Chains A and B, each alone.
Chain A
């Protein structure tokens, strides 16, 4: 076997998955390449993150146990409707507190579109919940009202927290209903 033949025998294994195009038009004159349409291919990308909730983890454990938790600053008593473990006002550590199940709609929207992950759930209602004596708000979903009936009258509506029986360890383990 001559050297040329042995080189031809060395080959990278080829597969037929991914983008397979058996024939691509190509001009004889390289000058024509400037007029070529772009090649556009599909490039999949999938990642599973190992996401730690870190210091916020007790919030999610709370949801799994039917408790909505916020935090309160020891020294200045500033109370967070969405937990923060250090106070934005005085910088001191905050303690966990249980929030009332009943709150009120501070503001809302009805999403008729959304990110790809949530498109199948449209229309859905987002609300920011407020509580008396709690200094910050909480983002959640409102169910049990007609999305098409959206109106400013919804602001101030009394709402009550409900918990999913099957926890997914996401903030949507809690949602709100009127009343």
Chain B
């Protein structure tokens, strides 16, 4: 396998609805941004890009089959090869890794991965119905298919098992919405308190409106290249790209019906011991085994043995405050059961920002400095790629240029992770990115 570099990216600002455009021009907004940031002009890009990956989740939302080929032609990239990747909420992360595979294998020197979702084309409750079709339609969906309900059941078990509190979950909402105040790409930019989260309308006990991300319209694009591809870009633009190297890719999957998941033993990370988890039945429905598997395999490839010390930041899939907290544990930032204490200590907050709370260990490893899905929105096929773009900007040290201010810039960020996750932890991908210039 050859080294693969993430060289550029772009994001269309996510919005509740973009009736002003169909999906193709929305992707072009992100694509044009990524080209402009490289200094690459359209015709030259069309010449040197070897192929693309299309990342979008739902044919129901789009009501258009084979939408990927319509984006390819709108971007002027026909007749270059392309394929679609789909894996629920993890679509973006999986597509990113598919782009990595295309380059690592030697098939492409330059690969564009573009993703989007247009979720405003149906009302919110029909949208929830579509999303719930990503649960078993014989046994789960007809009982009252609702993803917020499924996640609520998972965290209720986490609360029972480990004593996690709704206030600890609410802190994730406080953090991510506050971070978003400094991210012009975010949709929901708010200074809120724990009480605001708890007083918000109840959706699925104990999750309120402020514990849950929103459906959005949006697009994101990443450009991946081999060392040869980086040289080609250099030659084409007269500017040396400032890339991040993809040093680890990991993935995992779990049973679609969470009822089917085992109650067995924890999959251990290198810094953990079996004694840490004596008597714990794993994953049950309180943890995401696929998230653990994805982390373990990505860390292994990148040579990471103690992630909380060796990563400078993470952009992870916080569709729910609860799932962010559960993901801290899957990713080995703290032990299983300690996610609540981890956020309470302030560890995943940005250092130097005033959230209105005092924390004993604020900012040891910023999680979702961008505001994550909770604040940026979750146009499914774009989300995992948006994380990659924000991670690249962190590693380039270019947050100030893209956000218009540097308050969310993680100082001297050298290594970060992105984590993409599909319904109740079915598909999960983790990729490790490192500064490479």
CA distance A121 to B146 in the complex (A): 12
Q: Would you call A30 an interface residue if the criterion is a C-beta within 8 Å of the partner chain's C-beta atoms? A: no
Query: Which residues of the other chain, A, contact B275 by a CB distance below 8 angstroms?
Result: none
Within 8 A of B (CB), among A122-137: 124, 126-128, 135-137
Query: Which residues of the other chain, B, contact A118 by a CB distance below 8 angstroms?
Result: 144-146
Query: Which residues of the other chain, A, contact B238 by a CB distance below 8 angstroms?
Result: none
Min CB gap B178→A, angstroms: 26
Task: Find out whether the CB atom of A139 lies under 8 angstroms from the CB atom of B140.
Answer: yes
Given contacts A82-B139, A141-B143, contact A116 B126 (CB under 8 A): yes
Min CB gap A149→B, angstroms: 10
> Which A-chain residue is minimally distant from B255 (CB atoms)?
A88
Interface size class for chain A? 35 or more
Given contacts A53-B138, A111-B149, contact A80 B143 (CB under 8 A): no
Min CB gap A106→B, angstroms: 7
Binds B, one of A9-17, A19-27, A37-45: A37-45
Query: Which residues of the other chain, A, contact B144 by a CB distance below 8 angstroms?
Result: 111, 114-115, 118, 121, 124, 126, 141
Query: Which residues of the other chain, B, contact A114 by a CB distance below 8 angstroms?
Result: 125, 128, 144-146, 149
Query: Which residues of the other chain, A, contact B126 by a CB distance below 8 angstroms?
Result: 115-116
Q: Would you call B157 an interface residue if the criterion is a C-beta within 8 Å of the partner chain's C-beta atoms? A: yes
Query: Which residues of the other chain, A, contact B146 by a CB distance below 8 angstroms?
Result: 111, 113-115, 118, 126
Q: Would you call A138 an interface residue if the criterion is a C-beta within 8 Å of the partner chain's C-beta atoms? A: yes
Task: Find out whether the CB atom of A171 lies under 8 angstroms from the CB atom of B139.
Answer: yes
Task: Find out whether the CB atom of A115 lies under 8 angstroms from the CB atom of B145.
Answer: yes
CA distance A84 to B255 in the complex (A): 12
Query: Which residues of the other chain, B, contact A167 by a CB distance below 8 angstroms?
Result: none
Task: Find out whether the CB atom of B153 lies under 8 angstroms from the CB atom of A82.
Answer: no
Q: Would you call A51 an interface residue if the criterion is a C-beta within 8 Å of the partner chain's C-beta atoms? A: yes
Binds A, one of B201-209, B266-274, B309-317: B201-209
Given contacts A113-B204, A114-B144, contact A107 B138 (CB under 8 A): no
Task: Find out whether the CB atom of B260 lies under 8 angstroms from the CB atom of A88.
Answer: yes
Min CB gap A139→B, angstroms: 5
Q: Would you call A81 an interface residue if the criterion is a C-beta within 8 Å of the partner chain's C-beta atoms? A: yes
Task: Find out whether the CB atom of B260 lies under 8 angstroms from the CB atom of A84.
Answer: yes
CA distance A110 to B146 in the complex (A): 11
Q: Would you call B137 an interface residue if the criterion is a C-beta within 8 Å of the partner chain's C-beta atoms? A: yes
Given contacts A115-B132, A124-B144, A152-B160, contact A139 B139 (CB under 8 A): yes
CA distance A43 to B201 in the complex (A): 31
Q: Would you call A56 an interface residue if the criterion is a C-beta within 8 Å of the partner chain's C-beta atoms? A: yes
Task: Find out whether the CB atom of A110 lies under 8 angstroms from the CB atom of B125.
Answer: no
Query: Which residues of the other chain, A, contact B386 by a CB distance below 8 angstroms?
Result: none
CA distance A140 to B139 in the complex (A): 9
> Counting chain B CB atoms within 10 Å of each CB, which of A80, A121, A137 scores highest?
A137
> Which B-chain residue is minimally distant from A84 (CB atoms)?
B260
Given contacts A107-B160, A121-B144, contact A56 B154 (CB under 8 A): no
Min CB gap A163→B, angstroms: 15
Task: Find out whether the CB atom of A113 lies under 8 angstroms from the CB atom of B148.
Answer: yes
Task: Find out whether the CB atom of A126 lies under 8 angstroms from the CB atom of B285.
Answer: no
Task: Find out whether the CB atom of A38 lies under 8 angstroms from the CB atom of B259.
Answer: no
Query: Which residues of the other chain, A, contact B140 by a CB distance below 8 angstroms?
Result: 139, 171
Within 8 A of B (CB), among A86-118: 88, 106-118
> Which B-chain residue is minimally distant from A45 (CB atoms)?
B63
Task: Find out whether the CB atom of B129 lies under 8 angstroms from the CB atom of A139.
Answer: no
Given contacts A111-B149, A116-B128, A126-B143, contact A138 B19 (CB under 8 A): no
Task: Find out whether the CB atom of A108 lies under 8 angstroms from the CB atom of B142.
Answer: no
> Which B-chain residue is minimally distant from A169 (CB atoms)?
B142
Task: Find out whether the CB atom of B123 lies under 8 angstroms from the CB atom of A116.
Answer: yes
Task: Find out whether the CB atom of A80 lies under 8 angstroms from the CB atom of B205.
Answer: no
Task: Find out whether the CB atom of B129 lies under 8 angstroms from the CB atom of A116.
Answer: yes
Task: Find out whether the CB atom of B204 lies under 8 angstroms from the CB atom of A109.
Answer: yes
Contact among A116, A121, A150 with B125 in the assembled complex (CB-CB below 8 Å): A116
CA distance A139 to B255 in the complex (A): 14
Q: Would you call B240 an interface residue if the criterion is a C-beta within 8 Å of the partner chain's C-beta atoms? A: no
Q: Would you call A155 an interface residue if the criterion is a C-beta within 8 Å of the partner chain's C-beta atoms? A: yes
Query: Which residues of the other chain, A, contact B149 by a CB distance below 8 angstroms?
Result: 109, 111, 114, 126
Min CB gap A157→B, angstroms: 12
Task: Find out whether the CB atom of A56 lies under 8 angstroms from the CB atom of B128.
Answer: no
Task: Find out whether the CB atom of A82 lies under 8 angstroms from the CB atom of B156.
Answer: no
Q: Would you call B11 an interface residue if the criterion is a C-beta within 8 Å of the partner chain's C-beta atoms? A: no
Contact among A107, A115, A137, A172 with B129 in the assembled complex (CB-CB below 8 Å): A115
> Which A-chain residue is minimally distant from B261 (CB atoms)?
A136
Q: 0/1 per residue, B282-313, Cβ < 8 Å to A? A: 00010000000000000000000000000000
Contact among B19, B153, B203 with A40 in the assembled complex (CB-CB below 8 Å): B19
CA distance A53 to B139 in the complex (A): 10
Q: Would you call A119 an interface residue if the criterion is a C-beta within 8 Å of the partner chain's C-beta atoms? A: yes
Q: Would you call B258 an interface residue if the criterion is a C-beta within 8 Å of the partner chain's C-beta atoms? A: yes
Chain A interfacial positions (CB closer than 8 Å to B): 38, 40, 43, 45, 51, 53, 56, 80-82, 84, 88, 106-119, 121, 124, 126-128, 135-141, 150, 152, 155, 170-172
Query: When A and B form their complex, which 6 residue pairs have the shortest distance between CB atoms, in order from nearest?
Result: A115-B129, A109-B152, A137-B259, A107-B157, A110-B205, A116-B125
29 residue pairs A–B, Cβ–Cβ below 8 Å: A38-B20, A40-B19, A51-B137, A81-B259, A106-B157, A107-B156, A109-B204, A111-B149, A111-B204, A112-B204, A114-B125, A114-B128, A114-B145, A115-B129, A116-B125, A118-B145, A118-B146, A119-B125, A126-B144, A127-B153, A136-B261, A137-B259, A137-B260, A139-B139, A139-B257, A140-B143, A141-B144, A171-B138, A171-B143
| Extra contacts besides A38-B21, A152-B159, A172-B143 (4): CB < 8 Å | A109-B152, A109-B205, A128-B153, A135-B262
